[in-house]
Amino acid sequence: MSTAYDSGLDPSIMAPVFARPGEADSAPRFQLGADPMAAETAYQVVRDEAMLDGNARLNLATFVGTWMDDHANRLYTESFDKNAIDKDEYPQTAAVETYGWRTLADLWHSPDPAGAIGTSTIGSSEACMLGGLALKRRWQQRQRAAGRPTDKPNLVMSSAVQVCWEKFCNYWDVEPRRVPISLDHKVMDGTDLDKYIDENTIGVVAILGVTYTGMYEPVAQIAAALDRIEAATGLDIQIHVDGASGGMIAPFLQPDLIWDFRLPRVASINTSGHKYGLVYPGLGWVVWREASLLPEDLIFRVSYLGGDMPTFALNFSRPGAQVLLQYYAFLRLGRKGFEATQGATAAVARHLADRIGAMGPFELWNDGSDIPVFAWSLREPNSRLWTLYDLSDRLRMRGWLIPAYPMPADLEDLTVQRIVVRNGLGMDLADRLLEDMAADVAYLDSLATPLPDAAGHPAFHH
Ligand SMILES: *Cc1c(COP(=O)(O)O)cnc(C)c1O
């Protein structure tokens, strides 16, 4: 990134001056220094860089876990040296990984959790890639068996998918078919789905917790639309549910919502252990309803580490500690603990949504009753002389990170602002936020209010 500011200093030199005896007073920034640096100095330099980052607890932009308890922290420091791929060297971590996805298969109502298959990943992005790859490979096998071409696969999804699905389509040469969201169809709900589907459709992505707004896509309704399409055309199209956030909310807060393996059309589901799985970054999970849905030729058997371990992953090495942390969270909380934790988070989201909706200038897009995430826009017609970007800036001055951004294609003229409520944002902190927001709205309104000039005529000073 370039910046307009020029300090006149050489940007390639950093100058930590801690006056430690015998130490150089500068070091190159973009090259290795010739000599070692004292550990204290190196530590201080890195810490000082990171200090300028935002405060993670006030970061209401991210879905990713920023807090675990002391026992989890202890476990983390005791296990950060484990490489998840060394399954033969760390067989217990590998076993715990299996407990993890088996638990999720059960939580998501797999008809036969023992016959399901799954894996941990570095996050939902990798998990979605794996889910997408399995869809694509199964489609290729089907096409080849029928003597049909395999050169034009497409994947049907909402225009409001997370960027990982754009990446999947780009990296693996799959045509993305985006169903636009609109004011009438705020999420992909199965309407007109037949216009997007043909024999080259590898699958449909349904999002449980749309990243832009936090709303659930009605997976059962999408499945029913696909049932009708199958009845009319014979095309049996399966669903991958992107439950990056909702996969760890719906089982506890909306247990009667049918979105998971209870729907026969749902072939695979991913979630982010590091979102509402309540673990530090980076951990994701993906589970297939049954082992036969994961084509055998995608699985690698790595023998040079000593054993014969099947793996399906994009990465080779990655941290194993998060897998242990997920198991800790499962044991520590149990079903009731997850219900209580996610329930408290949801109550904060609804409180914030209520109050923000009642402030006057804002129109809620949704109320945080799916995942604890909600978005709002400025009420139309809008005569205000400030935008949500201005409000976001004002809040940032107080440490709150609450982004404003345009909605996806077809609604890109609509700017929304979004809050992601996570474990760690309690009611007290939420009320401080509401106070700050009310003060900032009053301030922005005052800037945009005509002030009388000397002659008593209104004049704008904005
Ligand atoms: C966050 C998110 C992802 C990506 O997950 P990571 O764990 O950050 O890789 C994918 N899909 C949805 C719906 C998300 O919200």
Please give the structure tokens belonging to residue 81: 């040296």
Q: What pLDDT does 18 receive?
A: 67
CATH number of the domain to which 442 belongs: 3.90.1150.160
Same-domain pairing of 305 and 171: yes
pLDDT tens-digit map of 95-152: 899 999 999 999 999 999 889 999 999 999 999 999 999 999 999 999 999 999 999 9
Closest residue to atom 5 of ligand 1, CA basis: 124
| Ligand 1 centroid distance, CA of 24 (Å) | 44
Domain annotation covers residue 340: no
Q: Are strands 239-242 and 266-272 parallel, antiparallel or unpaired?
A: parallel
Q: What pLDDT does 295 receive?
A: 94
Q: What pLDDT does 210 receive?
A: 95
Give ligand 1 pocket residues (Cβ under 6 A): 63, 123-125, 128, 162, 164, 207, 209, 211, 242, 244-245, 272, 284
Sign of dihedral through CA atoms 329, 333, 334, 336? Answer: negative
Same-domain pairing of 430 and 384: yes
**Alpha carbon distance 293, 267 (integer Å):** 7
| Ligand 1 centroid distance, CA of 163 (Å) | 8
The atom number, within ligand 1, closest to the CA of 272 reads 7
| Ligand 1 centroid distance, CA of 308 (Å) | 31
Q: What pLDDT does 92 receive?
A: 85
Provide the residue range defining the domain that includes 352. Answer: 345-461
Other CB atoms within 10 A of residue 315 CB: 12
The ranges of the chain with pLDDT < 70 are 1-3, 16-19, 22, 303-308, 448-462
Domain annotation covers residue 59: no
The full DSSP string for 182-224 is -SS-SS--STTGGGT--TTEEEEEEEBS-TTT-PBP-HHHHHH
Secondary structure letter of residue 401 according to DSSP = B
Domain annotation covers residue 335: no
Q: What pLDDT does 460 receive?
A: 47
Same-domain pairing of 311 and 249: yes
List the one residue out of 446, 100, 46 whose CA is nearest residue 287.
Answer: 100
pLDDT tens-digit map of 58-67: 899 999 988 8
Same-domain pairing of 163 and 263: yes
The atom number, within ligand 1, closest to the CA of 282 reads 7
Phi-psi region of 278 (alpha: psi -120 to 50; beta: other; left: phi over 0): left
Q: What pLDDT does 82 receive?
A: 87
Same-domain pairing of 78 and 215: yes
Q: What pLDDT does 304 receive?
A: 59
Same-domain pairing of 365 and 316: no
CATH number of the domain to which 325 belongs: 3.40.640.10
Domain annotation covers residue 339: no
Q: Which residue has the tokens 């940032």?
A: 396
| Ligand 1 centroid distance, CA of 425 (Å) | 20
Which of 330, 355, 382 terminates a domain? The answer is: 330
Please give the structure tokens belonging to residue 258: 């049918």
Same-domain pairing of 177 and 292: yes
Cis bond upstream, residue 403 (ω within 30): no
Q: What pLDDT does 123 receive?
A: 97
Same-domain pairing of 208 and 269: yes
Same-domain pairing of 30 and 100: no
Domain annotation covers residue 251: yes
| Ligand 1 centroid distance, CA of 171 (Å) | 17
Domain annotation covers residue 289: yes
Domain annotation covers residue 275: yes
